[in-house]
Chain A
Amino acid sequence: MNKAPTKERQTTVLEALNQALHDAFADDPKVVALGEDIADPEEGGVVGVTKGLSTKFGEARVRTTPISEQAIIGAAIGVSLAGYKPVAEIMLMNFTTVAMDMIINHAAKLRYMSGGQTNVPIVIRTMTGAGFSTGGQHSDYLEAWFAHTAGMKVVAASTPADAYGLLRSAIDDPDPVLLIESMPSYWTSGAPAAPGYRVPIGKASIASPGSDLTIVSYSRMLNECTAALQPLEEAGVSAELIDLRTISPWDEETVANSVNKTGRCLIVHEAVIPFGVGAEIAAVLSARFHGKLKAPIARLGAPFTPVPFSKPLENAYLVNAQRIRDAAVALVKRH
């Protein structure tokens, strides 16, 4: 069902995620959901991603839980071991820390430790993102932790169609998939996906073709990169923008093909730079293209601090289109 997005009308990431859940529930009675406030009596999730599900499919399948992240992921793991396909919502990515034992020691490892006798086909949806003055415990991007764990897959969409297709693929997937939803990007609009559309996990997309440098990004920062494309063009820089879509396992071939063509690479993520996803990508590309690169691989991300509250500090914490433009221009013009 790899149909291209249809182009008649616009939708939002929020609507696309909601539609994906509705379609998955309708297609497979084994799909269930659980999380804090997710059923309609509790308003269908804090942002409304799960709105309508419990009314349509019942509260046996769509369960509001206590504020108990270990219990949420534990129940998701258990129900998946018995053949169900749970979509667990952890309201905010920082709250995954409360459930790390369940995610890292159990969800990610049961297939391996059981020698393949069991598997854990769960989806963990979680939202995050700085910019809403929510401070140090409500806005972190922690994807590197999960990407660093064998057995986990990590995906993040930047468009409505990809949000739909990635969520559908995550539900299909036989292993635990963490789906990161960007809080500021829920209302990003774009073409809706055709019903049943899937985005293969592990496959990046070329968001915009170019020839001078490759920019690799994902999630909300992809949209900042998109906003930088026009200023870059005006500065005489042709950037090829790659939307990773899957953070782990990342699409090395698509990225490498691009870097092979451009000879330059800038990696942009919202998370702090040290030990981040950018470090892994840069290391792999450096080994692969040693001596052939026109410039050192560059990374843009947050400084190595918690997310600050005060607006000027929070603004300075975040990468934006201007900084992306400047970094890309510097990479091309100086090298």
Chain B
Amino acid sequence: MRTSIKRESAGDLLVTEAVAVTDKQLDGATQVEIFRRMALLKANDERTRKEITAGRLAAPYYSYRGQEVIAAAMAVNLSDEDYLCTIYRGIHDMLAKGLPLKQLWAEMAGRVTGTCKGKGGPMHLTYPKKGVMVTTGIVGSSLPIANGLAWASQLSKDGRVTVACFGDGASNIGAFHEALNLAAVWKLPVIFLCQNNQYGEHTRYAKTTAVQQIADRAAGYGMQGARVDGNDPVQMYHAARRAVERARAGEGPTLIEAVTFRFFGHVFGDADRYMDPAQKQAAIAADPYPAYRAKLISSAVATEVQLSQIEAEFQAEIDQAVAFALQSAYPGLEELTSDVYGASVA
């Protein structure tokens, strides 16, 4: 996918960083850690689609297959204390951040053992223990809330960073504009991570967006922007790292545009007829997962045995999580009306 990124517009605006790094700038342990998280994400997506297809899981599912690099390379730069606001296509972001598999699967299945006692579902997964603060089903709404979390960090000087994930489609909604402007004016420690998978719902990027690069919009807010190949773990790692460092240093927000592709359409089960078949085939042929796996082996960062072992461990963990979820009870009907309000103080 690296070659498919065109930079034929104005090129690098003043605040658009060129991310040009070599593989040597990333140590082997971090490279393997990124792979480890990618392996978890990929296996989890495959299993989710399998369970839905088999009829054992009934939930709207927005597959992130193809976008694993972005979440993995972002998350290795974050701690549990850092905040994440993500969207309905965001399970990769959350898993990479540390959302536990058992509670994830139980929530997907609407069980009381889920992160949200089954009351949120896949579009509203929440797990503050790992910084997963908000998951929204509304396009663009992760951004304004992320600003508030970042404001809290700025006030309390706790050094946390907040990451707001969203897609290319969200860059055309009003909340994007309001949030980026406020974050820049207030110099908030927030990272706007746009996962440009080149389709908003069923409509291709160029039909809805005149600007060639979403990252270029950063200049309009007086903010740092970076456009990277979101399928290249090393590029993505360094863009994420630079943004995290900037935020922690009090130097303000960053807009990262990570270019990628989603392999399974908008919602799993849609017929994909709106997609250019050649574009889709090319993207799948350039699947970053096997490419990165092969590269780790060929560059002697890891052995085939090591990587296979990582993959096998996750398969076993996912097996356990699925079994745990499907054997768990549904919430009791008392949960229908609980958690609407807390106990009033006055």
A interface list, Cβ under 8 A from B: 32, 60-61, 63, 65-66, 68-71, 73-84, 86, 101-102, 105-106, 110-119, 150-151, 153, 168-169, 172-175, 198-202
B182 lies within 8 A of A68 (CB): yes
Contact of B344 among A32, A86, A113, A201 (CB under 8 A): A201
Residues of chain B lying within 8 A (CB to CB) of residue A65: 182
**Closest Cβ of chain A: how far from B129's Cβ, in Å?**
9
Contact B126 A71 (CB under 8 A): no
Contacting residues, chain A, for B150 (C-beta < 8 A): 78
Q: What is the minimal beta-carbon distance from A103 to any residue of chain B, in angstroms?
A: 11
Residue of A nearest to B156 (CB): A82
User: Does B185 lie at the interface of the complex (its beta carbon under 8 Å from any beta carbon of A)?
Assistant: yes
Q: Which of B83, B126, B127, B185 has the most chain A CB atoms closer than 10 A to its own CB?
A: B126
Q: By the criterion CB–CB under 8 Å, are B346 and A75 in contact?
A: no
Closest chain A residue to B345, Cβ basis: A172
Closest residue on chain A to residue B177 by CB atoms: A68
Instruction: List 15 contacting pairs A-B, 8 Å CB cutoff, sorted by A.
Output: A60-B154, A74-B144, A78-B144, A79-B148, A79-B149, A82-B83, A82-B149, A112-B339, A116-B117, A117-B116, A151-B341, A169-B344, A169-B345, A174-B345, A175-B342
Q: Contact residues of B with A, CB < 8 Å?
A: 83, 85, 114-120, 124, 126-128, 133-134, 136-138, 141, 143-156, 162, 174-175, 178-179, 181-182, 185-186, 338-346
A44 to B146, CA, bound (A): 26
A106 with B141: CB separation less than 8 A = yes
A113-B126, A174-B344 known; A101 and B151 CB under 8 Å? no
Give me 17 other A-B pairs in contact (C-beta within 8 A), A78-B147, A111-B340 excluded.
Answer: A63-B186, A68-B178, A74-B141, A78-B85, A78-B134, A78-B145, A82-B156, A106-B138, A112-B119, A115-B114, A115-B118, A117-B115, A118-B126, A119-B342, A168-B346, A173-B346, A200-B346
Contact partners of B340 in chain A: CB under 8 A? 111-112, 150-151
Once the chains are docked, how many angstroms separate the CA of A119 from the CA of B138?
19
Q: Which 9 A-B pairs have the closest CB atoms?
A: A78-B148, A74-B144, A82-B152, A115-B116, A115-B117, A174-B342, A114-B126, A71-B178, A68-B178
Taking CB atoms, residues of chain A closer than 8 Å to B127 are: 117
Complexed CA–CA distance, A32 and B144 (Å):
17
Min CB–CB distance A257 → chain B (angstroms): 21
* In the complex, residue of chain A having the shortest beta-carbon distance to the beta carbon of B127: A117
In whole angstroms, what is the CA distance A137 to B150 when docked?
A: 33
**Residues on the B chain within 8 Å of A110, using CB:** 126, 134
Compute how far the CA of A283 lies from the CA of B83 in the bound complex, rounded to whole angstroms: 45
Q: Which residues of B contact A80 (CB under 8 A)?
A: 148
What's the nearest-Cβ distance from chain B to residue A63, in Å? 7
For B149, list chain A residues within 8 Å (CB): 78-79, 81-82
Contact between B118 and A111, CB atoms less than 8 A apart: no
The 8 Å CB contact of B346, one of A73, A74, A199, is: A199
Q: Judge whether B346 and A198 touch: CB under 8 Å.
A: yes
Contacts of B136 in A (CB 8 A): 105-106
> Whole-angstrom distance between the alpha carbons of A70 and B162 in the complex?
18
| Smallest CB separation, A169 vs chain B (Å) | 4
Q: Assess the A71–B116 pair: CB atoms within 8 A.
A: no
- Cα of A102 to Cα of B185 in the assembled complex, Å: 20
Residues of A within 8 A of B181 (CB): 66, 68, 71
